[in-house]
């Protein structure tokens, strides 16, 4: 298959090759513009995430694609599903807010837990951290598409599959 590709490239004249490269560059730049536009519109650094574990079942299943917003003016409420990052971990976590601790000055701290987990998330937070803060939130779940993210999970679980594509 790779040899056929190189054969096709050799048979193209320079104008055809430039046209193909330009088309590819336009597709990539369009995708980046759409992604950056979503970031601006949603207020979230990551407006779309894939659920990677079963910790939120039955609300969300492994492979569900979540759509996030993160407007800082919206207060965080108990029962809301948030996506948060913990210092020292690369992958964001999707869990439900179970407790809110609000100070008199308006600062809010909160505790999360996966719906399918027995205990709260304090064991997932960085050492000595008992509560999350708004700065830890990547986004809040606003909608989802079931199982659309399974391709991402398959590529993460089976790296050889990436080569096949």
Give domain status of residue 165, yes or no: no
Top pLDDT among 164 and 26 is at 26
Do residue 102 and residue 29 come from a single domain?
A: no
Annotated catalytic residue within 46, 61, 73, 121: 121
Q: Are 12 and 22 in contact (CB under 8 A)?
A: no
107-128 mean pLDDT = 94
- Supply the range of the domain harboring residue 11: 1-42
Catalytic residue among 30, 53, 90, 95: 95
Asked about 55 being catalytic, the answer comes back as: yes
Q: Is 30 a catalytic residue?
A: no
Judged against a pLDDT cut of 80, whether residue 126 lies above it is answered with yes
Structural domains in the chain (count):
2
Q: Which of 44, 55, 64, 136 is labelled catalytic?
A: 55
pLDDT for res 3: 57
> Tokens for 96?
């439900």
Helix (H) or strand (E) holding 141: strand 137-145
Residue 147 is assigned to a structural domain of this protein = yes
Q: With 90 as the cut, is the pLDDT of residue 51 above it?
A: yes
pLDDT, tens digit, 9 for 90 and up, residues 7-29: 666 777 888 888 889 999 999 99
pLDDT score of 49 more than 60: yes
Tally of CB atoms within 10 A around 22 = 10
pLDDT in tens, 72-107: 888 899 999 999 999 888 889 999 999 999 888 878
**101 carries an active-site annotation:** no
- Indicate whether 79 and 128 sit together in one domain: yes
Q: Are residues 58 and 117 in the same domain?
A: yes
Can you tell me the distance from the alpha carbon of 55 to that of 86, in angstroms, rounded to the nearest whole number? 16
Give per-residue pLDDT as tens, 149-160: 998 888 878 777
Rounded-to-integer distance, Cα 29 and Cα 31, Å: 5
CATH code of the domain containing 140: 2.10.109
Can you give the pTM of this predicted structure? 0.79
Please check whether residues 57 and 123 belong to one and the same domain: yes
My answer on whether 78 and 107 are in the same domain is yes
- 61 and 138 part of one domain: yes
In terms of domains, do 10 and 56 share one? no
Is 34 a member of any domain?
yes
- pLDDT attached to residue 14: 82
């Amino acid at each position: 298959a790779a040899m056929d590709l190189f054969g096709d490239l050799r048979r193209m004249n320079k104008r055809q090759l430039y046209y193909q490269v330009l088309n590819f560059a336009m597709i990539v730049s369009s995708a980046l513009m759409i992604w950056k536009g979503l970031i601006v519109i949603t207020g979230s650094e990551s407006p779309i995430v894939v659920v990677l574990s079963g910790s939120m079942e039955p609300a969300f299943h492994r492979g569900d694609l979540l759509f996030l917003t993160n407007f800082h003016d919206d207060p965080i409420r108990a029962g809301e599903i948030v996506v948060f990052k913990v210092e020292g971990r690369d992958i964001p976590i999707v869990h439900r807010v179970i407790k809110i601790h609000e100070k008199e000055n308006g600062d809010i701290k909160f505790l999360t837990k996966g719906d399918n987990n027995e205990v709260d998330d304090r064991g997932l937070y960085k050492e000595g951290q008992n509560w999350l803060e708004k700065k830890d939130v990547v986004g809040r779940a606003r909608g989802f598409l079931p199982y659309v993210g399974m391709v991402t999970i398959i590529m993460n679980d089976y790296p050889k599959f990436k080569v096949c594509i």
